[in-house]
A and B are shown apart, each in its own frame.
Chain A
């Protein structure tokens, strides 16, 4: 199938470009790439739900945090080694997604957004409430032993990049296949016209629950990876801005495209990075971007490209 080949080729090209950037850019920027890739995994997870299924969640930080704390707390308090703790982080994200999804999917539209926002707020407050273990806003540093995988210490710059690249590549390639699969196409159908999809014999509620669970699992993976690679766990990752960021990244990069999330994270990362060098009020950039994007470019960067290149996945 040429379409699938083209998709895979595009994604492999993106991955190759990341490697070239890492090798050629100065250390500071190359170091940022690891962070961008991990956040892009989070954005890909969000995009699966928002961009492909058409469900706008305002509470994804709870899934990111579930992964982060699922990994971090078992490493910190129970002394688990990296891999089982990491797996538990992904599982925690998926499980929370399943539960929240089962409840929130009873609502739709605006109510769905508010319900997800409120669940995320409860999750954030819960982390603060159990401050004895989570250390609240201050957070904690992940013990060094829990950051060693197969004898490799992932706190080194190159090791960290390679680990982030492997995870990101896997997620990008799998998501590329997923959105072209029967499941992925049905999710798009739900986004386009849920009632019609239902009346074609698809169990839309079950499919949306699957979408939330997979999306939450990917977000949890990103959260666990963030803690694993950067060694820090804190409640700010569960707060409202971390629910807004993925929405912003996906809108900027292009909702419903596989490469949009990475593009969005990349641009927003450097925009905010630059702005925070100038002013304390760097989130002003995020606010302006949200308003301008919804007004003038709701399709995002990759969405604009897709007008020319229609096969863009």
Chain B
């Protein structure tokens, strides 16, 4: 395992989820270095979504701890964890389709921003993802790709310390994926990003650090090049994904 150089912003200890008798995650010990882009990868059914669900509090853990910025948040409900500085974008697009784009972002920003600075904050987040000219559109009328960008703007508007993106490129066109990678790279250094991703090209281009999950357990973790060379990873995952 490659050593983690910076202080971890997020840590899990023995995090386990059992559905009935089936283990979705088993004793996951995980450390997320601060200020970098980490990709969480693994084949289908590896337990990535369950893991992230337990981190954000959407899925109650069977046992184990989640530690965020040195604080044990295992007992906190999801909204309180978000309140501590996590932001989360759903695997399946989740926006406020009946409200306009500006209000979508404003809802994300309003919890931390007072009225006087709200407009500027929303404008900046929309400009960052390239949706500034669509601010008055009804969110449900946006194209699929734009809706995914809107979700990222909603995440940015929260000024997150940790930004969790659950399969953000799923369903995007090639050109949109390239734009997305550029956007993610642009955010590096401002915040910590945890990227759950299927698309290996995106992972290799965007991530500083990779954690591989297989059968509910951490299989490997390290720099992209090291992971690419790892035989166990190749056997479990890359061989099939590259095809």
Contacts and interface: CB of A to CB of B under 8 A. Distances in A.
Interface of A: 182, 185-186, 188-189, 192-193, 195-204
B62 to A, nearest CB: 21
B79 A203 contact: yes
Contacts of A202: 79, 111
A188 B97 CA distance: 12
B93 to A, nearest CB: 10
A188 B99 CA distance: 9
A203 B77 CA distance: 9
B96 A192 contact: yes
Contacts of A204: 79
B110 A193 contact: no
Contacts of A196: 90, 94-96
Contact of B108 (A188, A198, A200, A203): A200
Nearest to A192: B96
| Dominant SS among interface residues on chain A | helix
A311 to B, nearest CB: 11
B158 interface: yes
A199 B110 CA distance: 14
A198 B99 contact: no
Contacts of B79: 198-199, 201-204
Given A189-B99, A193-B95, A199 B88 contact: yes
Contact of B82 (A185, A188, A189, A201): A201
A303 B80 CA distance: 35
Contact of B98 (A182, A192, A200): A192
Nearest to B85: A201
A202 B110 CA distance: 10
Contacts of B108: 200
Contact of A189 (B78, B88, B107, B158): B107
Given A188-B99, A189-B96, A192-B97, A200 B58 contact: no
A189 B95 CA distance: 10
Contacts of A200: 82, 107-108, 111, 154, 158
B94 A185 contact: no
Which of the listed residues A182, A186, A196, A204 has the most CB atoms from chain B within 10 Å of its own CB?
Answer: A196
A193 B108 CA distance: 13
10 contacts: A185-B106, A192-B98, A193-B94, A193-B95, A195-B94, A196-B96, A197-B107, A198-B79, A198-B82, A201-B111
Contacts of B158: 200-201
Given A189-B107, A201-B111, 13 more contacts: A182-B110, A185-B107, A192-B99, A193-B95, A196-B96, A198-B82, A199-B58, A199-B90, A199-B94, A200-B108, A200-B154, A201-B79, A202-B79
B56 interface: yes
Interface in B73-113: 77-80, 82-83, 88, 90, 94-99, 103, 106-108, 110-111
A185 B103 contact: yes
A188 B58 CA distance: 21
B224 to A, nearest CB: 29
A303 to B, nearest CB: 12
A182 to B, nearest CB: 6
Nearest to B82: A201
Interface in B104-161: 106-108, 110-111, 154, 158
A198 B78 contact: yes
B117 to A, nearest CB: 14
A192 B107 CA distance: 12
B9 to A, nearest CB: 17
Nearest to A256: B98
A51 to B, nearest CB: 13
A193 B96 contact: yes
Contacts of A203: 77, 79-80
Contact of A199 (B78, B99, B106): B78
A182 B99 CA distance: 15
